[in-house]
Amino acid sequence: MQSVLREVGIAIGLPFEVLIKHFTASYSASRPALLGAWRFFRNRRQRVADGFCQPIYEAFMDEAVSSGRISAPGYFDEPPLRKAYLQAQWLSDSPMADRSGEMQRTIFPGRHIQPICTCSA
């Protein structure tokens, strides 16, 4: 069964550990698998944005400009200007990470800094 799941993971481009949600190593050892999964999810999100979100946005803009709700001079008359109006960047969240630890390693390389807890226990 495990070999079949490995093949499925390879076929869809998802690391085996992420596919079965079972990490046997430390966070540092599992991090490459998580980053690989992040690339997989980012590519999928981009395809959804390009194939679904962008056409809906374009239809919305066409209707809003033609009805006068949005003023966009030259929208229908000049194709390069329309393309500029329709240029959108579809954003999503960033990969799962220990951001405070990464930030500390970036600012203070080679030093481990304990976070300060400001809450009362």
Assigned token pair, 74: 């030259």
Provide the whole-model pTM.
Answer: 0.57
CA–CA dist 29, 4 (Å, integer): 23
CA–CA dist 106, 102 (Å, integer): 6
pLDDT score at 104: 57
pLDDT score at 95: 61
Assigned token pair, 76: 């229908």
Q: What is the pLDDT along the chain (121 residues), one digit of tens a residue?
A: 888 877 887 787 787 777 777 777 777 777 777 787 888 888 888 888 899 999 999 999 999 999 999 999 999 999 999 999 999 888 777 665 555 555 555 555 555 545 444 555 4
